[in-house]
A = this chain, B = another copy of it.
């Protein structure tokens, strides 16, 4: 339909699993910290603890990259830093543009973590003429009119969208038309892009909502009505964990609206 969603049926690629790719930056960060402390080698156990994953997973992840460890010893920190950097494509320089220089865009522009890892902010772009020329993070903001030229001149292939939701799709289209093939989207919108363009989304309020879900469960602890007094503890990093807690409506699973209207008050 309207959206340009793809599907790519797995492609059996001789490649690295997506879940592994998503963890490589984590390992890299932990390794960089070790490197700065001049630690020469680490075991999978130590590195896993530093990265916040379990060691079996880490070893499996590394096994997709090749055999970079030494049995009985561990991994050479510097060597691994390089291998992971190379795998992620961080040994080359990636010019990026940030579009939408509001609070968030400015925060991103100032964020050290970008520049430190092969990413170079080629330009800050905003639609507000009043912003044009103003310095943000030591850089003059450029106007949206120049977007295509900036991308072309700098060979930008990665764009960051930090505009309001309403402008995001339009900006996205222009970025794509100008040659950008990877987009990091901070606007709360579903972007549609043609095949070949990669979109990742960071949504601040979604994360909070997920927390609220779990928080809600913690609150109703053994209150509602018994099932088992069991657990109720969480304690996780990434995808967060499950919680016990009988859902207030679990006993009778199926039931349409008790009265069909749209409630206006909170549940007791």
Binding site for B on A (CB under 8 A): 1-6, 8, 10-11, 13-16, 18, 21-22, 24-26, 28-30, 49-52, 54, 66-68, 76, 78-79, 81-82, 86-92, 94, 96, 102-104, 106-108, 110-111, 113-114, 116-119, 157-158, 160, 181-184, 188, 190-191, 193-219, 227, 230-247, 249-250, 253-257, 260, 262-263, 266-267
Is A235 within 8 A of B79, CB to CB?
no
Central interface residue in A91, A207, A230, by most chain B CB within 10 Å = A207
Integer count of this chain's copies in the complex:
2
- A214 / chain B contacts, CB cutoff of 8 Å: 182, 198
A193 to B211 CA separation, bound complex (whole angstroms): 15
Is B113 within 8 A of A204, CB to CB?
yes
Is A92 within 8 A of B14, CB to CB?
no
Q: 20 A-B pairs, CB-CB below 8 angstroms?
A: A8-B236, A11-B242, A13-B242, A25-B203, A29-B188, A52-B190, A88-B210, A92-B216, A94-B208, A94-B215, A107-B107, A108-B204, A114-B205, A182-B211, A184-B207, A184-B211, A198-B235, A198-B240, A200-B207, A202-B204
